[in-house]
Every structure is written in C-alpha cells, then in structure tokens.
Structure 1
Amino acid sequence: MCWRSGNLLFRGLANKILASSACSLMMKALFRRDGFLRRSVSAENSEGPWLPQDIMMQIFSLLEIPDLVRAGSVCASWRAAYTSLCTTAHSKLQETPCLLYTSESIGDRAMGLYSLAEKKAYTLTVPDPPIRSREVIGSSYGWIITADERSELQLLNPISGDQIALPSVTTIGQVEPIYDDAGTLCQYEYTRYAADWISETPPEILDLNALRDYLFYKAFLSSDPSTGDYIVVLIHLPDYQLSFARGGDVEWTWLPPHTMYEDCQFQGSLLYATTALGEIHMYDLGAPAVARKIILDKVKRSVYERIYIVQAPSGELLQIKRSDDECEHDAILELSKVPKNTTSIQVHKVDLTSEKNLVEVDTLCENVLFIGRNQSLCLCAKEYPQLLPNHAYLTDDDYLDVSCFKDRRRDIGEFDLENNRIKEIVSPQLWSNSPTPVWLVPNPRRMSRLASHS
C-alpha cells in the first residue's frame, strides 16, 4: 500500500480515536496535537505514519477487521504492530459482530462475512472439508463449531483458517459406530436415552451425514481456542442434554441426568445453562467432580418460547424469551414452506434477592443483544456506534427449522424491542438458508486476506 493510502487511513484512524470512549485521554491528547498529525502524515515519511508499537497496537485494537487488514499492509512498522497484536494471546480487541454465512455465489469452500459496521460483505476462503457440506452449530470467540458429512465436529476460525478436530462423535454415549466387512465406518447406531429413561423403540441406523441432524442442537466455547485452554459444551439430543470436552480430550464427557437445555453461558470454567422452562443451572467444569447447582428454579410452564442466557455489560445475568408466529400454522407441510418471524422478545434480569427471582426489564437502554446459534451477547451500543440501542440482532436457531426444514427462509433481522418490529439486515438476501447463518465476533489471530464481494 502506498504512503498516500496509508496517510488517508491514518487520518481515518485519528478520527476514530478521538470519537472512541474506549481510548485513553493521553492518546486522544496526542492525536489532537496538530504538529504531531502533520509530521505523521507528511509526504516525506514514505514508510507511513510512525508511532511507538505499543501505541499502534492500542489503536489497531479499536479497528474493525477490514481496517485492521488494511492497516497491516501500510508499511513494515504497521505490519509489525499488526502481527504482534494478532499473536498476543490476551490482546483486547473491540470487534463489532458480523453475520457469517454461506452462499452458492461464492462457492463451496468460502464463507461470506457481512460487516454491520461497514454495511459491506467480504469473502473468506476456509479449509476443507467444504463449508457448504457442513452444518454450523455454534459460534464463540471468533470460532465456529461445525459438523461435517461424517457428523464429526471441528472448531474453525474463519478469519485465520485455523481448524481443530474435536473428539469423535462415537464417544457420545448415544452413538455407536457400525463398520463394514473391510473395517470401514459406514453407519451409526443411534439410541434414544437419558439418565432416567430409555426409548422403547429400537436403536436407529443412520447414514454418516444423517446423524448430525438427529443429534446436535448447539455448541459453546469457554474461551478462545487459540490459547489452547478451552472447554466445548454440546447441547444434544435426545432431550437436549449436555456433554463437554476440554482442549486435548479424546472423548466427550456426559453431564446426566438433566435435560431440556436451551442456551449456555460461560464465566471462566463456570457453565450457566438455562432450560426450556427457564431454570438456570451452574456447573463448575474446572472442578475434579462436576455437580449441578440450581441458580434459578422453573419459572415458566410453556416450552414454545426459546430461552437465552446472557451477561450484560454491567455484569448482571439476563434471561431472554423469544416468541415467533409459528403457532399460527398447523400442518407440517405448511410449516416447512411458510416463512417464520420473531414477534416478541422479553428481557428479564436474574435477581435472586427479589421475591420473584426474575425482574422484567422494559428496555435495554443503550444495550444491544445478539442471539441465535451463537454465544448470546449483550453489548453497549456506545462502544459500538454502528449498532442500534435497545435492539436484538437475530439469527435462526429453531431446531426443527435448521435441522429439518433446511430450505425454509431464515428468521434473521434487527428487532426493535420498543416497537416489537423486525426489519431486514440487508436486502437482497446474501446468504443460503443452510447451513444457517450465525453471528461471529471476528478473531484476527493469523489473519487471512479478505476479498470484497457485492
């Protein structure tokens, strides 16, 4: 990138620094010095604007992914700061969530990344197996959890291209491998049981690619897998049970006997899991013996609302209820063809000191939600000025839809909590309906190049 382009980018960065509430007063004072800016962007400085590397890393940490890639291409000193930032294990990055999706138009081995900050789409080339042959069952810390055509699970960072194989699906209790005469895996035997019941129907024999639709609902990470210290939790069928694996494990660990889980949230090694009836259970997955602690007992009787659990920027625990218009349709055939839309989102604060334990919240104020088949997020719109406060950004995570009705239009949009109205993220639709799109907070470690597409 030539110095003129770098200087234009630098001027844009300076404006962002001055507007950011996350930047120090000292740095803002530095950027307000006209003499400093003139020296930094002078034509004589062919190596690009100069700043100490630690200051550059602090600036770069405020950039969205596309700007970060561009900044790393300006000159050697900027590239060094960019590389250092992307390889620092605990570097703080402030990335606006993006919509991650697949599309026929960009091929079987690429994913689309729609930036809410730039209102622009980018293409990411990702490693095999082809991403359009996989299902996406989770998104946390810039990584997605995928199930391939053999129903085996992988962690994938779509930005860096890093990929990690997870323990084999055959180590989940309800699954047994079936081999042909040559000793090649050819099918799975799937038995429906939980800790306190077993189905009266015989085990089902499934093709390799069919098991994933019968078994997986959602997956979550405790931390960034690039550090090597992480835990993966699965919500899986039958009955939406929990299993987990730590980084380096060779098999899944089952967490019986509890069922009907809808969403999970980590705080360190503590796993908070909410059920379809509004219960919240806590598990310490770092303890030698994992036991359940009931944080909140059953608070609802209906299972037709989807439930999420999320930590607000203030540290409070929120429980989210999401309703849609599917109940208006009766026949399965009709369900598979009629588009579904979210009609209501209710927010409750978990307050164990109150008599009701759940306190309804009328407004999110400056906060914004991201919910779907991803780690549920609650962010402060003041820190992300491109986002709309008191809104929820939605993707589809209804099990029947994403596993059975794969051609059905996805329930994706910006939901206004004040008016109970949803509108499109972008038009025309960029994504294929399957695998279902998810929200991704880009993780730029070992960044790959982005190529823009319309």
Structure 2
Amino acid sequence: MAGWLLLMRGALCEYQYSRHTYGPYGLSTGRPSALALGQLRSYLYVKAFVFYDASAGGHIVVLIHNPFGQLSFARLGDDKWTWLPQHSFFHDCIYKDGLLYAVTSQGKILAFNLRGPVVTTELIMDIAKDILYENIYIVQAPCGGLLQVWRTQEASQYVEDAGPATHLTNTRDIKIFKVETTSEKLVGIDSLDDHVLLLGHNQTLCLSVEEYPHLKANHAYFTDDCKLYLFGWKNNRRDIGIYDLANNTCEELVSPQPWSNWPNPIWITPSLTKL
C-alpha cells in the first residue's frame, strides 16, 4: 500500500498507488505512481454492492477495493468506511440473514457479521483451488443455500499491427458448485432447472424464470468483468452473452452487439418499493 487519499482544507490530494504490478506472492514489483482523482477511480475501486437489511434499518454499502481486493463497508448514516482487515483478493459478496458472505479468488468463503458494534468473522470454506485465472462469484441458491460460480475467460492473442481493438476476451466455460458448509466442500451441479444466473460487474443474481419469463431457464447471462481488461482497454468490445449450462455453448445476447464498452454494462433488478 503506497498511501491514503487525504482530505486537507477541502482539497483532495493525489494518491500514490501501486497498480497491478504484483509478483507471484502478491508483492509489488513496480514503483508507485502518483494518480489524480480521475485516474485513481480506475484502479482503486473494483466492485460496489448495495444491500438492504430491514432489521438494521436501511442499506449497507460494501466495496471491494485495491490494494489487493480488500473489503470495506458503510451503514446508512455512517460518515466513514469501516475496513475489514487481514483478508484480501475478494471477488464477490452476498448479504444474507445479517451476514456478509465474501468469496476470494481461490474460492475461500468468509462470513462477516456486520450487525454488532464489533464485526466478527467466521470461515465458511477454506481455499478451494490453487489456480487463479477464473472469475469467482457467490450467490444464494434457489433452495436458500449458497452457490459458488467459476467463470473462465480467454483473451485473444494481441496483434500489434492490427491495433488495440482486436484485443478481446470471451467467456469459454462456467461451472456451478453448491457450497456444503458442514463438510466445507464444493459439489458440482450441472443444472439450475428453472432458474438463471446473471453474472458481471454487479451483484450476482439467481432468478426464477417464473418471475422473469423472458429469460431462458438453465442459462447464465453475463457481461464483462475482467478487471485488467476493463480498465486497460476501455474502448474495446465487451464480453457479453448467454451461456447454455446444458450444452456448454455461448450465444449473443443481442445481434449485432451494441457498442457498450464504457462504462461497462451491468445487470440490475430495480425495486420500486425500496427507492
């Protein structure tokens, strides 16, 4: 960590931050860069979530941020973020029954109790994988439990003479696992039956086609959320489509695909009763 963003006499100072220059053990291999605010937001903030907790009297905002994919949160009325230290490399979160479940790049799941004056932490599942190339998601299953989702993206080979627009990413595989909390194991499942997944740079969703009849059952709808690609190639086509979980094939969401490159498209399910 190179420093903090400071507020001095109403002026926001520049922030020194080591970008994505990490070695094999998570250590920075490059010198820190001084970034203005307009640049900083492209590197500091990774993913934001807004959860509603009726028993807590309002909303909770959770932020995955750099350095190293850490977690911070703020309750309604807070005047500062609460940092959740000693853990890093988070990919996704879900808020369920008063607990914040967060999954790391290696499939490790932690549960944070945010309701009390002191945040407590419980290990739900230890490291599930060693390879770090998938995007990892966590979502509530139709039965009420937890699902862990692994999404593999492939990058096309960059051809310098062809220009940066030829550098693309594409989803190749999506695997779904049921989280067995008692045995701390992941059990693979091959069907969501009459449900669908919505994956991307947003809160991961598992929806029923009975409530959303225009969606295809047993499919995963995805948008691009490869962090390095999003911020490094802002003007390029995004990885958007529909993945058939039955036969492991992809199709376009809309043809031809709209040029929705920046800001990156996300999925939302607005609730008029909570606005």
Matched residues in 2 for 1:219 and 1:446: separation?
A: 18
1:190 touches 1:204 (CA, 8 Å); kept in 2? yes
AA matched with 1:207 = A
AA matched with 1:273 = A
Q: Deviations over 1:355-393 (max 9, x none)?
A: x71110011111110110111111122332211111001
Q: Structure 2 vs 1, CA of residues 426 and 175 (structure 1 numbering), >3 Å: closer, same or farther?
A: same
Structure 2 counterparts to residues 333-344 of structure 1, below 5 A = 337-344=166-173
CA shift at 1:224, angstroms?
7.5
With normalisation by structure 1, the TM-score equals 0.54
Q: Does 1:255 align with 2:81?
A: no
Match of 1:276 in 2: 105
CA shift at 1:198, angstroms?
8.2
SS of alignment partner, residue 133 of structure 2: coil
**Aligned-residue identity in percent:** 43
Q: Does 1:348 align with 2:177?
A: yes
CA shift at 1:331, angstroms?
7.5
CA shift at 1:186, angstroms?
5.7
In structure 1, the gaps of 5 or more residues are 1-171, 448-454
Matched residues in 1 for 2:130 and 2:30: separation?
A: 28
Matched residues in 2 for 1:231 and 1:370: separation?
A: 21
Matched residues in 1 for 2:247 and 2:258: separation?
A: 26
Q: Does 1:436 align with 2:264?
A: yes
2:237 touches 2:259 (CA, 8 Å); kept in 1? no
Q: Deviations over 1:76-108 (max 9, x none)?
A: xxxxxxxxxxxxxxxxxxxxxxxxxxxxxxxxx
Q: Structure 2 vs 1, CA of residues 406 and 365 (structure 1 numbering), >3 Å: closer, same or farther?
A: same
Matched residues in 2 for 1:287 and 1:280: separation?
A: 20
Q: Deviations over 1:276-315 (max 9, x none)?
A: 0000000001122112211001010111001000001210
1:186 touches 1:207 (CA, 8 Å); kept in 2? no
1:368 touches 1:381 (CA, 8 Å); kept in 2? yes
With normalisation by structure 2, the TM-score equals 0.86
Structure number with the higher helix fraction is: 1
2:148 touches 2:177 (CA, 8 Å); kept in 1? yes
Structure number with the higher strand fraction is: 2
1:222 touches 1:267 (CA, 8 Å); kept in 2? no
Larger radius of gyration: 1
Matched residues in 1 for 2:27 and 2:157: separation?
A: 32
CA shift at 1:202, angstroms?
6.0
Matched residues in 1 for 2:164 and 2:135: separation?
A: 17
Structure 2 counterparts to residues 68-79 of structure 1, below 5 A = none
Q: Does 1:188 align with 2:2?
A: no
1:189 touches 1:203 (CA, 8 Å); kept in 2? no
CA shift at 1:427, angstroms?
2.4
1:175 touches 1:188 (CA, 8 Å); kept in 2? no
1:213 touches 1:404 (CA, 8 Å); kept in 2? no
Q: Does 1:309 align with 2:149?
A: no
CA shift at 1:317, angstroms?
0.7
1:414 touches 1:422 (CA, 8 Å); kept in 2? yes
Structure 2 counterparts to residues 132-151 of structure 1, below 5 A = none
Number of residue equivalences: 267
2:192 touches 2:218 (CA, 8 Å); kept in 1? yes
1:370 touches 1:394 (CA, 8 Å); kept in 2? yes
Relative contact order, CA 8 A, sep 6+: which one is greater? 1
AA matched with 1:432 = S
Which piece of structure 1 moves more, 418-427 or 306-315? 418-427
Structure 2 counterparts to residues 17-166 of structure 1, below 5 A = none
2:53 touches 2:60 (CA, 8 Å); kept in 1? no
CA shift at 1:200, angstroms?
8.1
CA shift at 1:187, angstroms?
4.0
Match of 2:41 in 1: 212
Matched residues in 1 for 2:160 and 2:69: separation?
A: 22
In structure 2, the gaps of 5 or more residues are 20-25
Q: Deviations over 1:367-422 (max 9, x none)?
A: 11011011111112233221111100101111112222111111111111112221
Matched residues in 1 for 2:57 and 2:40: separation?
A: 28
Matched residues in 2 for 1:313 and 1:237: separation?
A: 32
Q: Does 1:394 align with 2:192?
A: no
Matched residues in 2 for 1:446 and 1:258: separation?
A: 32
Q: Provide the aligned C-alpha RMSD in A.
A: 2.9
SS of alignment partner, residue 111 of structure 2: strand
2:107 touches 2:127 (CA, 8 Å); kept in 1? yes
Q: Structure 2 vs 1, CA of residues 419 and 268 (structure 1 numbering), >3 Å: closer, same or farther?
A: same
Q: Deviations over 1:170-202 (max 9, x none)?
A: xx99422376xxx66364223459xxx985866
